[in-house]
Amino acid sequence: MTEYLGKPLIKSLLLLSFAFFGKHALVLGQPDSLTHHYLYVATPGVRNYLQYGGHGLLVFDLDHEFKFVKRITTGGFDKSGQPLNVKGICVNIARHCIYISTLQSMLCLDLLSEKLVWEKFYEGGCDRMAISPDGKIIYLPSLEGDDWKVVDAATGNVLSRVITNSGAHNTIYGLDNKKVYLAGLRSPYLIVADGGHHNIISRVGPFANFIRPFTINGKQTRCFVNVDSLLGFEIGDLQTGKKINHTEVKGFQVGPVKRHGCPSHGIALTPDEKEIWLADAFNESIHIFDVRHDLVKPIGTIKVSDQPGWITFSMDGKYAFPSTGEIIDVSRRKIIARLQDEQAAYVQSEKMVEIQFKGKNPVKAGDQFGIGRMR
């Protein structure tokens, strides 16, 4: 039969088939073409400054030159109708939700419909929260207050409280889903809570001053912390509870800063855990250190456009996202783009997270903190 049809007819049938199925024929052989990576940026994410992207949830395409995709309307207003400062952001893949905390409330948005599921106001306000890897629990710090609220991620209802009296501020949930790391503005100790029983199980420190931003490695054996008054960082052993390193940035002047009141407010561990990237507000720079060995080694500095107050990374470790809105190629130590909204205005925010989609469905999310991923 094939011989009877002949090559010209077979060729015609193949062309007709391609014309009918179009690009779908290519998709069947290239499933990765259905995978998309987006950066979700909550604003106002630098205090209440609307000049850095306005108000809402801005989406950027990481696969196509970091172009602006859309702006999603969010809640988060005070009684007078003014947008509240955004304090934190996290993602629940299991429930396809994204959460944004403000000075007073936490809201939940559905990633598929992009509609508000709920917004709840909490006594004592809100700060930078963290969600458990299984998507069931959110540890929500009060606004520099005495406690962290243990919140049901589905409903926003408070299930329990962890009282630390430390000036609740920053939160990281361990990748093991068992431990939660709590840093307060009035304590030189990093507090470790049991994510199942919701009680304090250990403390790490004391560090040289009160803890500001911090990060941890994937195995949860090391923490890397900013502290007040230090242009640099310190390292703690999460197993022994002891401080094991003090690193200062050499060759740079310490001076007044616009926000946060400390020289280094922003620290991130590359996903492969080879490097620490450190914010330097006064010098408008990011300093990079090799932390693979006991001896911490400075290996580079990148100048940015404004005073950085936060740093995180893409899940694959290719890009660094300082709060100043630059996109930095990690391997080349080079700025390759800047976030711009639909009005071509430059966007800045300390609250952003990457989400990976397969078709229309979210399948994986990064973290607002630059945490290690090696387990």
Predicted confidence at residue 375, as pLDDT, reads 85
DSSP string, 181-239: EEEETT-SSEEEEETTT-SEEEEE---SS-EEEEEE-TTS-EEEEEETT-SEEEEEETT
Q: Are strands 35-43 and 56-61 parallel, antiparallel or unpaired?
A: antiparallel
Contact (CB, 8 A) for 322 and 78: no
> Cα(356)–Cα(335) distance, rounded to whole angstroms?
23
Q: What is the C-alpha end-to-end distance of the chain, expressed in Å?
A: 58
Contact (CB, 8 A) for 287 and 268: no
Predicted confidence at residue 33, as pLDDT, reads 57
CB atoms closer than 10 angstroms to residue 340: 17
Q: Which residues fall within 8 angstroms of residue 316, CB to CB, at 6 or more apart?
A: 271
Domain boundary assignment for the chain: 34-365
CA distances from 221 to 60, 73, 116 (A): 34, 39, 38
Q: Which residues fall within 8 angstroms of residue 91, CB to CB, at 6 or more apart?
A: 40, 97, 98, 99, 111, 131, 353, 355, 362, 365, 366
Q: Which residues fall within 8 angstroms of residue 64, CB to CB, at 6 or more apart?
A: none
> Cα(105)–Cα(110) distance, rounded to whole angstroms?
17
Q: Which runs of consecutive H residues, i.e. helices, occur in the chain?
A: 2-21, 24-29
Predicted confidence at residue 271, as pLDDT, reads 98
Predicted confidence at residue 31, as pLDDT, reads 52
Contact (CB, 8 A) for 156 and 355: no
Tokens of 258: 């616009």
Predicted confidence at residue 263, as pLDDT, reads 98
Cis peptide before 141 (omega within 30 of 0): no
CATH architecture of the region 34-365? 7 Propeller (2.130)
Contact (CB, 8 A) for 249 and 231: yes
Best CA proximity match to 173, nearest among 145, 146, 193: 193
CB atoms closer than 10 angstroms to residue 165: 11
> Cα(373)–Cα(218) distance, rounded to whole angstroms?
5
Q: Which residues fall within 8 angstroms of residue 364, CB to CB, at 6 or more apart?
A: 93, 315, 355, 356
Reading the chain (375 residues) residue by residue, the pLDDT tens digits are 333 333 333 333 333 333 333 333 323 333 555 899 999 999 999 999 999 999 999 999 999 999 999 999 999 999 999 999 999 999 999 999 999 999 999 999 999 999 999 999 999 999 999 999 999 999 999 999 999 999 999 999 999 999 999 999 999 999 999 999 999 999 999 999 999 999 999 999 999 999 999 999 999 999 999 999 999 999 999 999 999 999 999 999 999 999 999 999 999 999 999 999 999 999 999 999 999 988 999 999 999 999 999 999 999 999 999 999 999 999 999 999 999 999 999 999 999 999 999 999 999 999 999 999 998
Predicted confidence at residue 294, as pLDDT, reads 84
Tokens of 58: 């801005």
CA distances from 340 to 41, 261, 299, 326, 373 (A): 11, 27, 30, 10, 29
Beta bridge partner(s), residue 22: none
Best CA proximity match to 277, nearest among 254, 304, 243: 304
